[in-house]
Structure 1
Amino acid sequence: MRKPFLAALALSLVVACAGPAWGEGPATTPTPAAIDGYLREAFDSTGLPGMSAVVTHGDRIVHATGLGREASGRSVTADTPMRVASVSKSFTAAAIMTLVDEGRVALDQPVATYLPEFRMADPRAGRVTVRQLLNQTSGLSDRTVDIGATQRARTLAGYVAALRHGTLAGEPGAHWEYCNVNYDVAARLVEVVDGRDFTDAMRDRVFGRLGMGASAVGDRVVRPLDGFVSVYGAWVPRTELPGFRGGGAGGVVTTASDMGRWLISQTGYGPQVLTPASLAVLHEPSPGTDYAMGWGEEVLEGRKLLVHSGNLFTYTAVQAVDPATGFGFAVMTNSASLHDDTYDILLGLVALTDGRRPTAPGGGRQMTELALALTALVAFGLGILGVLRSGRWARRRAGRAWWWTALRLVGVLVPAAVLATYTQWVSFLMNGRAVTWAQMTYFPAPLTITLAVAAAAGLATATARLARLRSVGSTK
């Protein structure tokens, strides 16, 4: 999932054909030493707690590495499990396409053809096609389904059942809207058609075929995957926010080494899970959009790439493939903050393949959170000053019309009003995506704390002024 204060989901386009079709372009292959040197510099400048990354070219992994530490204290390596959040969507789409290749699923058939349990309080849901799920043009929306109920589900069957009382936000196929529900329904479709648990189906249909032995769906890994959140520049260990993580929208756990194998397959090289025709469909945006099936189109460093990013509340990831040159890139971190450093680091890796020396990213997170910390300190100071000067304020306004006094109090109460509607306006900024208070205590913690301090300062000032005003009035 994308965080509310980050750039919108990265998108890209590719044209694929038979064989290793993405030829050598003008880019150059950087040496492992050059990649490693840049990543170490980027790691130091961003101050991340832990990071892993991989660069591929054609049929080989050029370099895969890990830096920093896990929450448990272990060193991060190229084989450290990482949650990749919405990067998972491209894997789920690939699983669906394996069923298409086998003739067991047709993209333009209604989902209900294969998944009769997919029913909603909206007759249009019966017309949603498999292609529309993967292209995110189904009409499903966080605004019209009970996201809380889906997150309380313990199985994909329970997840789909939680949609029964929901509706569509529009006609199927009419417009694009990013919604995780699309891919969790797609995961349930894989389960039903394949006849196995989604985790097992993914292992055999995608991970196993590519030799991704360390990859899985959900929390079936060898050790806990606690991550970090940044609070005013300090990394604080946190357990990932509870919720349903066994689906197709964001459940994949993988490593830099395994991501290398995946990226190679996405360029048409190495072992394949799909036919060339299905790989092309996987990467082709739906008409009128730049989103394909877990991939989309974005221009980075002057080049058109396949890109998809992912964000949970303690993990961040991004993957990209360059169709012109056959390069693949992935950057993963065991942390989350208001600023997405993985995307900046990816830009540097792309620049390296152009033969340019990138400037190490960094400072975005630190500067953003420093500004918020200073804002909180100023708000705290103004709150103390407002309380101390409340007597003088009351004496100046004693005897004036009540509406004039009330108007003068409105300004200090604005932060409290904003805090009271915090989740609503964040949801609005995210185009209606569901937001909870628990989520606001993770990566947005610096903003949440700053807003809470400002609200408390305003309330304290308003309370003191009203008390003093009453006292002044009673003495007259």
Structure 2
Amino acid sequence: MRRSGVRAARVAAVVVSTMVALLCGAAAPAVAATTRLGDDAVVDDYVGAFHPPGLAAAVLTPDGRTRFLLRGTDGRGEPVTEDTRFRIASMSKAFTSVAVMRLVDAGRVRLDQPVGELLPELDLGDPRSARMTLRYLLSHTSGLSNERYDEYALPVAGSTAEVVSDLRGVGLVAEPGTRFEYYNTNYVLAARVVERVTGQDVDTHLAEQVLAPLGMTSTTSTVRCDQQRSDLAPGHIGAFAVRVAVPELPGLCAGNGGVVSTVADMATWARFQTGDGTTASGRRLLTPESLRETHIAQPGAQGYGLGWREVPLPGTSPAVGHGGTLSTFTGDITLHGAGVAAVVLTNSGGAPSELTAALVAVAEGRVPAAATNPLTAVDLVLAGLATTVLLLGATGVWRARRWAVRHGRARWRLVTPVLTVVVGTALPFVVGASTGLTGWGAALYVTWLLPMTTVLAAALVVAGTAVLLARVSHLRWCRSDRPADA
């Protein structure tokens, strides 16, 4: 799916805020600092808080050293190694950005060139689109919005060309360059530009013009996020410490989230990004100015660059990074100062930016913050609510006969279990809608990203249905000729 950490964060934020209200506004615990300063310690901290089945991390230092930290197993039960493949999700955007900037360096496109000149078939039906440039696409300030074109709707588009066709007449929500909205379709269009200019599909172009020169031989990319591959084990969903390997949800990831990589290759990528645009072999891939431009926050982009965003870390040196979130994989990369970087890849949900920040802190001699997982409390509340609902349902079934005797003439009271079923059925859709998701896609995404919400929804439906059937059955019994105490 073309998801970033933003989507998962919105889902979690809605549920977190609801649970906080249910808990009478109890204050969130303060983030503590850990006194354990080793890389292994902070990785173990994170694993203990988020329970990823498999994790691969790399820490780069200015002296050229790289330390790998590996934990757990992949979705097939094999131990995670430096060569285990993970989907890196939205961290893929920086690869598309490099592909575009190489075309800029070669004089084949201009960063401030109108997209309409490069994609004449793109007809948004809005005169403002004539001012939409490549820079605006890469910085998410194009004026395109999920309000007009739902990139999460099912069925998903199957190619970049299909997205261009689907965008016909959708219009913009703002003048290009004036409003930031993190929107994966921007990068689908950037990928389509690469395809039109080079005559290659974006995956082939990345492989030949970006990955091969860097020596990232174990890295590939796919058009679909859910494309199954023999060399890629499935990721996981779950709650608490329970994780289940499941397929990724359907989605178009061309240009915005389709890269599949290893921690060893991502360490190579991080080293390139902290350099001057040359590869380890000395080949120039980008000019220093173009590489630097990708890291610089763009006007009106709220700290977002071109495939990178500013990261608030202590110190005088700027930090940039990017997260990546699908429903079954999460990861993060953070670059700080001269040659300091951290990469984290996991095969389940989580908050890997916490770990990259902690690893960078250790590398720089600072005390890292302890890993904290707010979803643990949310899952506990949801589990408690689901248990309470089932207990109340069981009580309602047990007392259905007594209820029928007392309320046989007030059948409107059946509305309570009916409403319980309705609320349970609607819950995943409502939670999804509150984050901008619609339709069955909303229910699917919420189920994958926050499974305990669906457990609560199922408990409401089961309890409501059981009570309703029990009460209707006993109402029929009360209408028979048998005595009430028979």
Smaller-chain TM-score range? 0.7 to 0.9
Instruction: Give the number of aligned pairs.
Output: 444
TM-score, normalised by the number of residues in structure 2: 0.80
CA 1:171/1:467 → structure 2, altered by over 3 Å: closer, same or farther?
farther
CA distance in 1, matches of 2:453, 2:11: 19
Match of 1:87 in 2: 91
Asked whether 1:333 is paired with 2:333, we answer no
User: In the alignment, residue 266 of structure 1 is paired with which amino acid?
Assistant: Q
Asked whether 1:251 is paired with 2:247, we answer no
**1:210-225 equivalence runs, <5 A:** 210-218=214-222, 223-225=231-233
CA 1:471/1:171 → structure 2, altered by over 3 Å: closer, same or farther?
farther
SS at match of 1:438: helix
Contact 2:153–2:439 at 8 Å: present in 1 too? no
Match of 1:279 among 291, 305, 310: 291
- Aligned-pair distance for 1:82? 1.0
**1:398-409 equivalence runs, <5 A:** 405=413, 409=415
Asked whether 1:2 is paired with 2:12, we answer no
Contact 1:2–1:311 at 8 Å: present in 2 too? yes
How big is the alpha-carbon RMSD for the aligned residues of Structure 1 and Structure 2? 3.3
Match of 2:319 among 305, 326, 331: 305
CA 1:432/1:468 → structure 2, altered by over 3 Å: closer, same or farther?
closer
Contact 2:417–2:467 at 8 Å: present in 1 too? no
CA distance in 1, matches of 2:285, 2:154: 30
Percent identical residues: 34
Match of 2:211 in 1: 207
CA distance in 2, matches of 1:393, 1:276: 77
Match of 2:329 in 1: 315
Asked whether 1:296 is paired with 2:305, we answer no
User: In the alignment, residue 456 of structure 1 is paired with which amino acid?
Assistant: V
Match of 2:467 in 1: 461
**1:14-53 equivalence runs, <5 A:** 34-44=38-48, 46-53=50-57
CA distance in 2, matches of 1:71, 1:90: 26
Match of 1:18 in 2: none
Match of 2:352 in 1: 342
- Aligned-pair distance for 1:163? 2.3
CA distance in 1, matches of 2:367, 2:211: 34
- Aligned-pair distance for 1:396? 5.2
Match of 1:227 in 2: 235
Contact 2:56–2:345 at 8 Å: present in 1 too? yes
CA 1:146/1:126 → structure 2, altered by over 3 Å: closer, same or farther?
farther
CA distance in 1, matches of 2:154, 2:287: 33
Asked whether 1:422 is paired with 2:428, we answer yes
CA 1:276/1:231 → structure 2, altered by over 3 Å: closer, same or farther?
same
User: In the alignment, residue 444 of structure 2 is paired with which amino acid?
Assistant: A
**1:31-110 equivalence runs, <5 A:** 34-44=38-48, 46-58=50-62, 60-110=64-114
Contact 2:58–2:267 at 8 Å: present in 1 too? yes
Match of 1:137 in 2: 141
- Aligned-pair distance for 1:183? 0.5
Q: Which runs of 5+ in 2 are unaligned?
A: 13-36
- Aligned-pair distance for 1:231? 4.3
TM-score, normalised by the number of residues in structure 1: 0.82
Contact 1:313–1:442 at 8 Å: present in 2 too? yes
- Aligned-pair distance for 1:87? 0.9
Contact 2:154–2:441 at 8 Å: present in 1 too? no
Match of 1:262 among 269, 277, 287: 269
Match of 1:382 in 2: 392
CA 1:301/1:469 → structure 2, altered by over 3 Å: closer, same or farther?
farther
Match of 1:443 in 2: 449
CA distance in 1, matches of 2:470, 2:228: 54
- Aligned-pair distance for 1:148? 6.0
Contact 1:331–1:342 at 8 Å: present in 2 too? yes
